[in-house]
Amino acid sequence: MPTRKGIIFGHHYTSIAGVAPIVGPAIAIIWGWLPALIWVFVGTVVMGAVHDLGALVLSLRNQGKSISEITAKYVNPRTRTLFFLIVLLELWIVLAVFALVIALIFSWFPQSVFPVWCEIPIAIVLGWIIYKKGGNVGLFTAFAVITMYITVILGHFIPISMPGIAGIPATGVWAIILLVYAFFASTLPVTTLLQPRDYINAWQLFIALGLLVFGALASAFAGELKIVAPAVQLHPEGAPPLWPFLFITIACGAISGFHSLVSSGTTSKQVAKEEDATFVGYGSMLLEGTLSVLVIVAVAAGIGIAYQTKDAGVLTGTAAWTTHYQSWAAAGGLGAMIDAFVIGAANMIAMLGVPKAIAVVVMGVFVASFAGTTLDTATRIQRYVVQEIAADIKLNFLKNNYAATAFAVITAGILAFATGASGTGGLTLWPLFGATNQTLAGLALITVTLYLKRKGGAKFLISAIPAVFMVIMTSWALIINEANFIKSGNWLLIIVNAAIFLIVVWVVIEGIAGFFSKGKAITPEATAEA
């Protein structure tokens, strides 16, 4: 579905962003704002954007195939199977956990429920007007965004709380509803819901970024915004070592393997011409890095404006930050990370004259909406992965769109409810996600490096240096995690983490062999044929 680059930019950006560029910096700040800021800047510019653009261009030059399939061509067929295993595991965790994330946000911020669900009919109508009726994109985009923010204000006055049903708590009920929604959303034509919803969510992001920037400036000029987090804190209570875990904790805000799945999954099938890839692939990553910088400002300074404690007291300044970040255990929970951002961001936006209660709803809707777009896209990508595997092993029934999507959703549901009716089962594998995700980034960069090596010259260094760095950091983290899992006696994590480490070693060996082998050079003509 060839699409104008402004619209596909919105889809790609909102799909790669999700909540990860928020929760990553919101916990990594515990090591200090300076290491987090340096990693976001360097990682985004010289690693993450290179990774995203590389995966997108390789997919465009290979019939829109996934990064797993492309690996078979530029490394060897054996690595494709290994890549598929990593991708399946990552998407499996993403689907189960992001359904839970949205469910938790709905429980914490019931004011966000109404506006988030209203985005669906607004997006469908926008897509219908633009694609079916040829409506003016700018005019109807403005109308859709204004309507969306009207629902945000209404949401403040009509909070919706989900009751438990048939012994299933609210989070479990929401998880079921969201997975059912993901099935239908990911099987609809892309122009019906995915594109228009992601597009208006991108505008929601632009507005949120604007509010954060101007809120930060207004707070600073009013003398309210001061950095209350330490610049560097090497040994916070209960935290793992900064090296290598900073580079695993901040993923999507710097470099993330999930992005290669989006680039080579849904995005490459919508980019109209190759020249758009730089704006979409590289540009989206730069904007995501910008979001992460603003998150760092919110949790390093904004939280100090006013922090409500559990005993109804209000703290300010360093005391506010220290209370929230007193230890890794206190700040590392999903709720604590999202709370830190929402509180800090709402404090800054309130300095613009926006009622703080409305600012909290705006930020709650913002986080839930982005998690929702990632859930939609991840389900569709998992379908593609299942279909590619089915084609390879001749399981024809799984090549069907509905069957493959049902497989993706049902298996995610099994993981989500593996530990009970609350839908929190995905958290059992969540300790593996960071290293798994960054492992995928390193492996994708290896594939991009081999492609550039075959094109000749030294341009392969652009992706080779980040590939080496990410492989070292993730391998280091996997080894430390394995020791911790063995110490705790968690056999599930011991086995899966060890398997991931072995896959990393295997692919790196295959990649080194491919790098020094005399593969067929890639010429412009060969690229055109591919």
Instruction: List, in order of start, the domains of the chain with CATH numbers.
Output: 5-529 (1.20.1740)
pTM: 0.91
Q: What is the DSSP letter of 278?
A: I
Give Cα 248 to chain centroid, integer Å: 13
Give Cα 239 to chain centroid, integer Å: 23
Identify the bridge partners of residue 271 per DSSP, sorted by sequence position: 3
Distance from first CA to last CA of the chain, Å, rounded?
19
Across the chain, what does the average pLDDT equal? 90
Give Cα 393 to chain centroid, integer Å: 30
Identify the bridge partners of residue 307 per DSSP, sorted by sequence position: 315
Give Cα 183 to chain centroid, integer Å: 19
Instruction: For residue 346, count other CB atoms closer than 10 A to its CB.
Output: 27
Region class of 2: left (phi > 0), else alpha (psi between -120 and 50), else beta:
beta
Residue 56 has pLDDT above 90, yes or no: yes
Give residue-wise pLDDT tens across range 110-147: 999 999 999 999 999 999 998 888 888 889 999 999 99
Q: Give the phi and the psi of residue 76 in degrees, each rounded to 5.
A: -170, 165
Rounded alpha-carbon distances, angstroms, from residue 346 to 111, 153, 216, 232, 302:
15, 15, 10, 25, 8
Using CA atoms, how far apart are residues 12 and 260, in angstroms rounded to an integer? 11
Residue 483 has pLDDT above 60, yes or no: yes
- 3-state SS string for 175-197: HHHHHHHHHHHHHCCCCCCHHHH
Query: What average pLDDT does the segment 447-468 reach?
Result: 93
Supply the pLDDT for residue 530. 38
Structure tokens at 383: 């379908």
Supply the pLDDT for residue 57. 96
Using CA atoms, how far apart are residues 438 and 75, in angstroms rounded to an integer? 19
Give residue-wise pLDDT tens across range 61-90: 999 988 888 988 888 888 888 888 888 888
Structure tokens at 84: 């598929």
Give residue-wise pLDDT tens across range 208-249: 889 999 999 999 998 888 999 999 999 998 899 999 999 999
Residue with tokens 């001061």: 226
Structure tokens at 415: 């993981």
